[in-house]
Amino acid sequence: MAEVLTNEKVSPVGVARLFSGSTVLCDGAMGTMLYARGIFINRCYDELNLSQPEMVREVHSEYLQAGAEVIETNTFGANRFRLEHFGFGDKVREINVAGVKLARQCVEQIREKQASEAFVAGSIGPLGVRLEPLGKVGLDEAREAFAEQISAMVEGGPGVGVDLLVIETLTSLVEAEQAIRAARSVAPEVPVIVMMTVDEDGNCLDGASAETAATKLTAWGADAIGCNCSAGPATVLSVIERMRPLTMLPLAAMPNAGIPRAVEGRTIYLTSPEYMASFTRKLVKAGASFVGGCCGTTPSYIRAMKSSLRAMDAMETGAQVMEKTSADKTATAEVKNKVAPPPLAQRSKIGSMVARGEFVRLVEIVPPKGIDCSKELDGAAYLHRLGVDAINVPDSPRASARMSAQSLCVQIQQHVGIETVLHYTCRDRNVLSIQSDLLGASSIGLKNILCLTGDPPKLGNYPDATAVFDVDAIGLVNVVRNLNCGLDIGKNSIGGSTGFTIAVAANPGVPDIDQEVRRFAYKVEAGAEYAITQPVFDMRVLEEFLKRIEGFRIPVIAGIWPLTSLRNAEFMKNDLRVSMPESIMARMAAATSPDAAKAEGVKIAQEMLEEARPMVQGVQVSAPFGKFPAAAQVLGLV
C-alpha cells in the first residue's frame, strides 16, 4: 500500500491500521435511511448533500453512534453519467466535495465527543452505463469519469478529503479495472477497497467467478477486495470463502439485508439485525477484515454487528468489555486467583450421572406466561415421583414473555426437591448481568447450566424488543468456565468455584451442518461438558452428527418430542425447520382423532428413544403443552 500523507487532522498510523488485518466495522445503507425519511427513489440522493445536508449528517451520526469505525460519503452515484440523468452533470465536484465535508464533520464531532477514531471513505458506485465493447462508452471515458469524482473526494488532502476510497457494487471487472486505474492516477496515496456484487451462485454479473475477481483485483493494485450488496449475507460469505485462498489482501464484506420482498406495496428487507450479526462472525472467521452493510441495513444492524464482534472477543478470551492488561499481568493474576473446580461427579446429580456414564432422563417444563406456576410445580412433583432425574427449564423459548427460568428452577428445587437444568440465553443480558445472574444462581443452589445464544426477539410476540447478544453460546461457556475456576471476566477472584455443570445445545438437523459442527467444536474447546440436542425425529441425522463430532465428542443427550397432531408435526418441520421424515408425517396424518394423534405421537417418540439409546447418554423429553403424562409414557415410567 502506498504511504499515507501526514496531516495533523488525521492519523496516518490510524488509516494504515485499517489495512493491518484487524476487524473494521463499516456503516450500513445510506439510501435505505434517506428513503425512510421520505425521499422518493426518483430523487437524486447524491444531490441531497447540497439541498438537505442536515439529513445526510443525521444518517452519518447515527451510524457512528451505532459503532461504525468507517462511514461512507453520500456519493455512490455522484459521477457525471448518473448525475446527468437528473440534470446535475455540471455539479460533480460540488456534490462530491459537499459529501466529503458532511462525513468529515460527523467524524470530527464523534472524535471530540467520544475521543474515538473514525474514518471517512469515499463511496464510488458503478457509472450506470455500458462500457465498450457492449456499450457506447469507451474505457478512457469511464476512467475519466471515475477520476473526476475521485479528484473531488481527495481535494484538500488527508484530513480534509477522504481517508480511503470504497469502489463498490461493481458488476463488471472491466469497469472495476478502470476505477482502480483512475484512483491510482489521481490519488496514489489513498487506500482503495474494491467490492464486486454477485449473483446467487456467487459469480460476478459479467460471468467472472469470485476466484477470477480476486486474482485480477489483486493484480490491478487494490488495497482490499471483497463483495457487497448481492443476495444477502449467505451469498457474500460464500464469495469471501472463495476469495480468501487467492489473495493476501484484506477482504471486505458488506451484504444486503437479504433479498427484498414486496410487502403491502413497499419494498422490505426481512433479514433481521440478529441474523446479520450472526453472519458477521462467520464473515470474520472466513477472513473478512472489513464488515458492514449494504441495502436494507440501518444503524440497528450495525449496532447488532458491533455486539457480535464483541462476542467474538469473548469467545477467544472469555473476557468481554474489559480492557486487557499486559499479557504478563493477566497471566500472573489468573494463576494467582484461579481455583480448581470440583470434579464433575461432585457438582450435581446430573454431573455425577454424566461422569459415571449413566443414562440420564430429563423432562422439559416450560415456564408459565403469568405468575402462577402451580401447574408446573405439580408436573415436576409428578415426574419426580416417577423417577425422572431432573427437570429442564427453557429461558423464554421462541423469544416469548414468560416467568423467568431461574425463578421456576428455584421453586421446583425448593418445593419439589428434584434437580433442575437452567437454560440460560445471551439474548437479554450484557456480560455484567450474565455474571451477576450466574453468581446468584450458584449461591441459591442451581448447579446445571445449559448455555444458549437464544432466539432473537423478531421470532417472538414482542418483535420490537431489543436484543443484547454481548456474547453468544460459545462466549457464555467461556464465562461459565471461568466462574467455575473462581474468576470473573476480568480474571479477578470471586472467592471460590461456582461449581456448574456446563451443557450446550446441538442441532443435528440444521441445514448448514458444517457450521453447526464447527460451532460445536468451539463449544467443546471453550469448556462444554455435555450436550443436549434439539428434537430428533430422523435417527440417520443424529447418527451422522455423532460421526462428525467423533474427534471432539462429549456426552450427548438426545432431544425427544412426542408429537400431538399433524399440525404440530407441520409446525416442527416448516416453522422450526426440524428434520422430519415423510413417514412420520404420514403416520400423524393417518390418525383418525385427536386422541389417536397424541397416542401415535407418543409411540413415535418411544421408538425414537429406543433407537437413540445405544448412541447417546440420555434423553430430554419435552412435555408438549404441559402434557406431563405423555412425557412419562415416552420414558416408559407409566
The whole-angstrom separation of Cα 244 and Cα 127 is 28
Ranking 576-580, 617-621, 628-632 by mean pLDDT, the lowest is 576-580
Is residue 282 one of the residues assigned to a domain? yes
Q: Say whether pLDDT at 485 is over 50.
A: yes
Same domain, 268 and 155: yes
Report the chain's mean pLDDT, rounded to a whole number: 87
Q: Which residues on neighbouring strands pair with residue 24, listed in sequence order?
A: 290
pLDDT at res. 432? 82
Tell whether 479 and 345 lie within a shared domain.
Answer: yes
Which residues belong to the annotated binding site? 229, 294-295
Known binding positions for Zn(2+): 229, 294-295
Q: CATH code at 520?
A: 3.20.20.220
Residues 66, 94 share a domain: yes
Distance between CA atoms of 618 and 608, rounded to whole angstroms? 12
pTM: 0.53
Is position 225 within any domain?
yes
Per-residue pLDDT band at 615 (split at 50, 70, 90): very high
From the list 50, 58, 59, the residue with the least C-alpha distance to 32 is: 59
* Domain, as residue range, for 452: 327-634
Query: 409 and 304 in one domain?
Result: no
Distance, CA of 75 to CA of 101 (rounded, Å): 11
- Is 234 part of any domain? yes
Q: Is 423 domain-assigned?
A: yes
Q: Are 566 and 546 in a shared domain?
A: yes
Residue 36, in any domain of the structure? yes
Of 446, 448, 466, give the one whose Cα is nearest residue 457. 466
Angle at CA of residue 375, ends 374 and 379, nearest 5°: 115
- Whether 252 is covered by a domain: the verdict is yes
For residue 495, how many other CB atoms are within 10 A of its CB? 8
In this structure, are 344 and 365 located in the same domain?
yes
| Residue 2 banded pLDDT, cuts 50, 70, 90 | very low
Over residues 78-95, the mean pLDDT reads 95
User: Per the structure, how many domains does the chain have?
Assistant: 2
**CB contact at 8 A, 170 and 194:** yes
Give the confidence band of 271 by pLDDT, cuts at 50, 70, 90: low
Q: Write down which residue in 298, 317, 336 finishes a domain.
A: 317
Least confident of 108-112, 281-285, 469-473, 622-626: 469-473
Range scoring the smallest mean pLDDT among 375-384, 449-458, 560-569: 449-458
Of the residues 291, 317, 343, which one is the last residue of a structural domain?
A: 317
CA distance 54 to 60: 10
Q: Are residues 478 and 601 in the same domain?
A: yes
- The pLDDT value recorded for residue 112 is 77
Q: Are 214 and 350 found together in one domain?
A: no
Which domain CATH number covers 107? 3.20.20.330
Which of the two residues, 549 and 475, has the higher pLDDT score?
549
pLDDT reported for residue 259 = 67
Percent of the residues in the chain that have a pLDDT greater than 70, as a whole number: 89
447 & 582 share domain: yes
List of residues 6+ apart from 355 with CB closer than 8 A? 343, 344, 345
Integer angstrom CA distances of residue 195 from 66, 171, 423: 23, 9, 42
Residues 297-329 pLDDT 10s? 999 999 888 988 876 665 554 433 334 434 444
Whether residues 354 and 473 share a domain: the answer is: yes
Whether 485 and 628 map to the same domain: the answer is yes
Say whether pLDDT at 226 is over 90.
Answer: yes
Q: H-helix or E-strand containing 266?
A: strand 266-268
What Cα–Cα distance (Å) separates residue 608 from each residue in 143, 415, 580, 631, 634? Answer: 65, 32, 12, 13, 9
pLDDT for residue 316: 54
Q: Is the pLDDT of residue 262 over 60?
A: no
- Indicate whether 462 pLDDT > 80: no
Residue 7 lies in a domain: no
Confidence of residue 465 (pLDDT cuts 50, 70, 90): low
Is residue 3 in some structural domain? no
Same domain, 310 and 352: no
